[in-house]
Structures are given as C-alpha cells and as structure tokens.
C-alpha cells in the first residue's frame, strides 16, 4: 500500500485529459485532495488550449481520446513547444502497440499506468510525483510488465486482432496488409495459440480473437 502526503501536490499545476466524464472527475478529485492544482480537458483541442492557458507542470493523459489524435499524439505535439512537461499516460491499453505505436518511441521519462491498477491507494499520486521529479526508478511502466494482457503477442498479431475486433473480414485484412487470406488465418491462429486459446469448432477463431482483443483493450463486449 502506498501512502502519500496530503500536500505533495502543493504548488504543482496539472492538466488531466480524459474523455470519460466520470473518470475525469474522479482523477481530478484524487489529485486535488493531494494539493495539486488541476484543470481538466475532454478532447485534444481542449488539452492544447488549457496547456497554453495554465502552463502546467505535468499532464495525466488518457491514450484513447476517441476519434482523432491519441494521447500519444497530444504528448508529442505539446513536448515540441513545452519540453519541460511531465507526462503520465493513464489507459486501459496493455501497451502502446494497441494504439499502433512503437513502445520505444514514447517520450523519455513518461510514465505508463494501466487504469485497472488504480485500485491501489495512492498509486496515481505517487506515479505523478515520480514523473514530475524525473525519478526513473519510481516511474511506472505497466506497458513493460511481462504479465500484462496479450503481452506475448507480436505487433503484427495485435494489429490483425484489432482489425478482427472492428469486424473486418479476412479478405479486408489481407487487402489492407497486402497479403493472402491464408496468411491472415495463420496470424490469427498463432495469436490464439500464444494466449492459450484453441479453435475447438470450425469458424470460432475469429470470435475468440475479437473477444480476447476487446477484453485486453478494455472495450466492453456489449459495444
């Protein structure tokens, strides 16, 4: 259990960028309780505007902001003009590959925290404090956890599973990737084998692939 001083955020300005209103409010409340001065944004445009207005010390950035730029894109753009900003990515995604991003290209010194881990008291505040201080050993990088969901898959397998979860047919995936239907089927089969799934009945592999991807990416199965 992590315990943090209630005034650890005093004198520090933070912009929270999160498209879900309930989550955004809860994050702001937790940080304000620890003394941070918090402004919130729901879109990338709001984030750019607030950073110019507030001149924050750091950002807590959701990766998936809906249609348009991702949190990674927002961080890249802001760091070009404000390289001092501390960045903490807060997301459902196991790692950056789920947003078609090379994990090695994330900003140096940025933290990566999975939302499901926020059940640990004090974790958000301690993670943000670590990136603000530039304390490399304390900065969380959940995207490097070998036990993260679907962590053993290749970037190609994740990309194909994402297409499957979006309802693409094998033919559409093959055309988009410039390959054959057979090659697509093999990628899906190997991905399922890697995560311990097997095709028990003809035609169920795509359903299993989509289900596993959606669960790992934090997408409700009802959507």
Instruction: Please provide the DSSP assignment of 136-174 as one string.
Output: GGGS-BGGG-TTSTTTTS-HHHHHHHHHHHTT--HHHHH
Rounded to two decimals, the pTM is 0.81
Q: Indicate the burial class of 223 (C-beta count within 10 angstroms; 0-12, 13-18, 19 or more).
A: exposed
Identify the pLDDT of residue 205.
67
Distance CA 99, CA 221 (A): 19
Q: What are phi and psi of 160, to 5 degrees?
A: -70, -40
Q: Are 116 and 122 in contact (CB under 8 A)?
A: no
Q: Are 121 and 6 in contact (CB under 8 A)?
A: no
Distance CA 112, CA 173 (A): 30
Q: Which two three-digit tokens encode residue 176?
A: 């988009």
Q: What domains are there in the chain, each with its CATH number?
A: 13-144 (3.40.50.2300), 155-216 (1.10.10)
List of the chain residues with pLDDT < 70: 1-6, 195-206, 214, 217-223
- Residue 46, H or E segment: helix 44-54
């Amino acid at each position: 259990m992590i315990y943090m001083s209630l005034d650890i955020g005093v004198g520090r300005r933070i912009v929270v960028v999160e498209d879900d209103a309930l989550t955004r409010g809860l994050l702001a409340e937790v940080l304000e309780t620890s003394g941070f001065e918090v402004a919130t944004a729901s879109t990338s445009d709001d984030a750019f505007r607030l950073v110019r207005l507030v001149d924050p010390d750091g950002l807590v950035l959701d990766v998936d902001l809906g249609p348009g730029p991702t949190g990674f894109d927002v961080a890249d753009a802001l760091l070009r003009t404000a390289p001092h900003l501390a960045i903490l990515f807060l997301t459902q995604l196991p790692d950056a590959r789920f947003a078609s991003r090379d994990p090695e290209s994330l900003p140096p010194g940025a933290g990566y925290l999975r939302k499901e881990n926020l059940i640990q008291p004090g974790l958000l505040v301690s993670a943000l404090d670590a990136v603000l201080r530039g304390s490399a050993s304390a900065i969380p990088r959940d995207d490097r956890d070998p036990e993260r969901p679907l962590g053993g898959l290749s970037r190609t397998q994740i990309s194909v599973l994402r297409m499957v979860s979006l309802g693409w047919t094998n033919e559409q995936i093959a055309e988009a990737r410039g390959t054959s239907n057979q090659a697509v089927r093999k990628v899906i089969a190997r991905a399922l084998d890697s995560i311990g799934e097997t095709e028990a009945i003809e035609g169920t592999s795509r359903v299993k692939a989509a289900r596993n991807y959606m669960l790992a990416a934090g997408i409700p199965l009802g959507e």
